[in-house]
Amino acid sequence: MAPDGYTGKVLRVDLSSEKISTEPLNKEWARQFIGGKGLGARYLFEELKPGIDPMSPENVLSIWTGPLVGTLVPLTSRYVVVTKSPLTGTFLDSYAGGFFGPEMKYAGFDGVIIKGKASKPVYLWLNDGKVEIRDARNVWGKDTYRTEEVIRKETGEKMARVASIGVAGENLSLISSVTNDLTRNAGRGGTGAAFGSKNLKAVAARGTLGVEVNDMDSLLPMVKEMIKTDVVGNPDHAGMITDGTPVLVEMSNDAGILPTRNWHDGVFDGHEGINSESIKTRVLVRKRACFDCALACGSWSKVKAGAFSGAATEGPEYETLGLCGSNCGIKNVEAVIRFVEDCDRHGLDSISAGNAVALAMDLYEKGILSKGDVNGLDLRFGNEEAYAKMPGIIAERKGIGDLLAEGALRAGRKIGHGADGMVMHVKGLEYPAYDPRGTIGMALAYATSDRGACHLRAWPVATDAYGSADPWSTEGKAATCVEDQTRTSVKWSFIFCDFYGVNFPNMAKYYSAATGYPSSEEELRKTGRRIWNLTRAFNFREGFARKDDTLPERMMNEPLRSGKTAGKAVPKESFEKMLSEYYALWGWDEQGRPTKAALTDAGLGDIASKLPGLG
Amino acid sequence: MSKGLKADLGKCTGCQMCMLVCSGSHVGKFNPSEARINVEDVFPEPGEFKINHCVHCDEHPCVEACPVEAIKLNDKLGTYFVDRETCTACGACVDACPYNGCWIDPSGSYSIKCDLCDGDPQCVAVCPKGVLKWGD
């Protein structure tokens, strides 16, 4: 068979019986769902019993690449962890760049499906088609940096790439992540707990098998041209090359949507200490790219002096600067670097951790939590010394950390006194760093994302708060969300990085040259609709519907305080109107349930027939 | 004087696109392990990149060390390349090279090193940060 960019192999591991097997990739599904998100969702839908506890051995944990991963097609270094989310109970797809994804493919596998639970801590070792379940005693309890190092030593492969959990994942924190290449995280939704609940410390890979594409002779010149014109020379990427995501700090602050002091404000008086300029002038060591990336948005940064001297990270990225910076009242990028290095080492999602710590700070300032409740710390907004201790406290579940490790919503519910109402989340997943009260499109994006509040499924903020459209008008916002969700469903299936603004025609070109399958914008749009309908169907099967596509009451009845968004909230009737419009555009019913007709039209007739109760 | 690639290490971001295009054009698949150039990254400390490749030095100790005369002259470029058919993968060139410029292919069947793509080095064409240069 002609090469098509896939390895053609899926690895299965049952950690309970220690059974390892390799099977051919389901090529029919690959044609329908590409890879990454789509293919992962299709396998998960097939193999996961509805209604199971995501932390039980019955949950299915999988890792996927895509047909372009490991090729020279630019910005395709990602892998995705697909499972039922320990944090939200929804479908979960969490992505990370770096070097692990391509290495897993070079080691011989498009995907890895892990079931059961090991009787003692283990890690998986994937090496040129060979697979071992190895004793993880030497790395259990160790941070992710050290875990990478020890596994390289144990396997004798200094080029091995490792995706591991830290202490947070071992302790089953619902906001724990999977970390690879030191600073890259499949962060959201509790991927770390999905590993930890299976006693799985890490998946490590080293491969020299390579990836074969269908038409190297046409792919190479095309990609060389695209790197120049569509990546490096694309004016939309200019900010990513010079600054990376921190460029958004000033843009959000100007727009009044920068999360500040647990979402009480959208403008931060300390923005100058955490913006891109502060990184470039105070901490930047050098730019560092993920594998196969011509942009190199990452900034290797190191604190040069002061209390946090020596702390280093790649970034910090915008979401971290917003949630762990302004949202915690932190005015110095040096403190944020200390915090996020500790998040990476402990394997914590910095978006969720920033929200959780900001909640604790808010509750402490309001007197709902006493100093005794917060491990004896003076946990005021902006107190860097206390703040910097929090990642460790959460990961180790010490005192208040035991509550916060469950995510902000569960912590709020346990604390009581209305604390849960102060948490900004959808379906339990804490908000990323765009306040919907100044970008109503993001209100819809958060509410309808398949994994809870997420900025990577639709990003209408680009055209409203950051662009020229009215950020408070609902006009066209539902259509923007539908368009974005269709496009990102395809992007996350190849798997492209978020920061490549690749359009449908170019995706089709890459896809055809790499796989040999004919493709077109129209066909890929249909694939995108198929994938988004599939994750909707998954969540419907788990009991989710319009009742869950909501925002916290605070968004509706607590206006922001200053700047362009002063006095603004999300009007409930506007939100509900957008939501109805959105469901209608997808062909779903008023309750947000997918319909037989919509699923069948998207090529999911077989899925529709497995879902009782569809309209 | 060295006739090989020049690398401005300060500009390198470690993306390894050079390794991808090198393997793609030499062996017809994307496989960094089969590339004739190698980017090593050393993070978190000291936080730098090192690029290994044949510098096409004038002394070419690899040529002298090769027991089967597998390292041959490219008349057009005046540089040496490994003739895969003749090479026995004995590793003498690897040991002789002071620049870490050649190594044994993962298949274990021959030594590989930069051949400057017969005068059109693909890594130079692809490098998005202008790290790699060749010629004047």
- Partner residues linked to B79 by β-bridges: B74
| CA dihedral over A379, A383, A385, A388, signed as positive or negative | positive
The answer to the question of residue A196 being in a domain is yes
Same domain, A192 and A256: no
Chain B residues whose CB is inside 8 A of the A182 CB are 43-44
Assess A293–B contact: CB distance below 8 Å, yes or no. Answer: yes
CATH label, B6-133, candidates 3.20.20.140, 3.40.50.720, 3.30.70.20, 3.40.50.620:
3.30.70.20
The answer to the question of residue A142 being in a domain is yes
Cis peptide before A505 (omega within 30 of 0): no
pLDDT computed for residue B2 by the predictor = 76
Q: How far is CA B42 from its chain centroid?
A: 20
Same domain, A74 and A96: yes
d(CA A37, CA A20): 24
pLDDT computed for residue A317 by the predictor = 97
Same domain, A462 and A554: yes
User: Could you say which residues of chain A have pLDDT below 70?
Assistant: none
Cβ B13–A287 below 8 Å, yes or no?
A: yes
Tens digits of residue pLDDT in B110-119: 999 999 999 9
Last residue of a domain, one of A411, A430, A449: A430
Q: How far is CA B86 from its chain centroid?
A: 19
Same domain, A446 and A564: yes
The answer to the question of residue A217 being in a domain is no
Residue in B10, B15, B31 nearest the CB of A106:
B31
Amino acid at A345: R
Assess B117–A contact: CB distance below 8 Å, yes or no. Answer: no
Tell whether the model's pLDDT for residue B1 goes beyond 70. no
Please state whether A589 falls in left (phi above 0), alpha (psi between -120 and 50) or beta: beta
pLDDT computed for residue A144 by the predictor = 98
CATH of the domain at A71: 3.60.9.10
d(CA B107, CA A277): 48
CATH of the domain at A582: 1.10.599.10
CATH of the domain at A362: 1.10.569.10
d(CA A336, CA A342): 10
Q: Shortest CA distance to A318 belongs to which of A156, A456, A450?
A: A456
Domain around A396: 241-430
Same domain, A297 and A393: yes
pLDDT computed for residue A262 by the predictor = 98
The answer to the question of residue A49 being in a domain is yes
Residue in A211, A291, A300 nearest the CB of B16:
A291
Cβ B30–A296 below 8 Å, yes or no?
A: no
Assess B50–A contact: CB distance below 8 Å, yes or no. Answer: no
Evaluate whether A84 touches A509 at the Cβ level (below 8 Å).
no
Question: Can you spell out the DSSP letters for A64-117?
Answer: E--TTTTSSSSS---EEEEEE-TTTSSEEEEEE-SSHHHHHHHTT-SEEEEES-
* Cβ neighbours for A325, distance < 8 A, ≥ 6 positions apart: A249, A268, A270, A274, A316, A331, A333, A336, A354
Tell whether the model's pLDDT for residue B5 goes beyond 70. yes
Assess B46–A contact: CB distance below 8 Å, yes or no. Answer: no
The answer to the question of residue A229 being in a domain is no
d(CA A180, CA A123): 14
Token representation of residue A523: 């066909």
pLDDT computed for residue A1 by the predictor = 77
* Cβ neighbours for B75, distance < 8 A, ≥ 6 positions apart: none
Burial class (CB in 10 A: 0-12, 13-18, 19+), A186: buried
The answer to the question of residue A329 being in a domain is yes
The domain ranges of chain B are 6-133
Q: How far is CA B98 from CA A289, A388, A524, B62, in A?
A: 29, 46, 51, 9
The answer to the question of residue A169 being in a domain is yes
Same domain, A191 and A272: no
**How many Å is the Cα radius of gyration of chain A?**
22
Provide the b/e sequence for A32-54 (b: ≥16 CB within 10 Å): bbbbbbbbbbbbbbeebeeeeeb
Last residue of a domain, one of A183, A206, A229: A206
- Partner residues linked to A430 by β-bridges: A425
Count structural domains, chain A.
3
d(CA A417, CA A380): 19
Assess B130–A contact: CB distance below 8 Å, yes or no. Answer: no
* Cβ neighbours for B32, distance < 8 A, ≥ 6 positions apart: A106, B16, B19, B20, B23, B38
Measured at the alpha carbon of residue A289, what is the angle toward residues B102 and A319, in degrees to the nearest 5? 160
ipTM at complex level: 0.97
Q: How far is CA B19 from its chain centroid?
A: 10
* Cβ neighbours for A138, distance < 8 A, ≥ 6 positions apart: A150, A154
pLDDT computed for residue A613 by the predictor = 82
Same domain, A82 and A194: yes
CA distance B46 to chain A (A): 11
Q: How far is CA A328 from CA A94, A183, A272, A561, B56, in A?
A: 24, 21, 15, 17, 55
Same domain, A185 and A69: yes
Same domain, A247 and A275: yes
Surface of A (155-184) touching B: CB under 8 A: 182
pLDDT computed for residue A474 by the predictor = 96
Q: What SS3 state is found at A298?
A: strand
Q: Shortest CA distance to A512 belongs to which of A38, A67, A79?
A: A67
Cβ B30–A211 below 8 Å, yes or no?
A: yes
Amino acid at A596: K
pLDDT computed for residue A606 by the predictor = 96
The answer to the question of residue A614 being in a domain is no
Cβ A182–B21 below 8 Å, yes or no?
A: no
Q: What SS3 state is found at A242?
A: helix
Cβ B43–A182 below 8 Å, yes or no?
A: yes
Last residue of a domain, one of A151, A179, A206: A206
Tens digits of residue pLDDT in B6-34: 999 999 999 999 999 999 999 999 999 99
Can you point out the beta strands (E) in chain B? 6-7, 38-42, 48-52, 71-74, 79-82, 102-104, 111-113, 132-133
Cβ A231–B128 below 8 Å, yes or no?
A: yes
Residue to mutate among B15, B23, B117, with most A CBs inside 10 A, is: B15
pLDDT computed for residue A612 by the predictor = 86
Eight-state DSSP code of residue B30: B
Residue A190 has a CB neighbour count (10 Å cut-off) of: 35
Same domain, A48 and A14: yes
Token representation of residue A562: 């200053």
**How many Å is the Cα radius of gyration of chain B?**
14
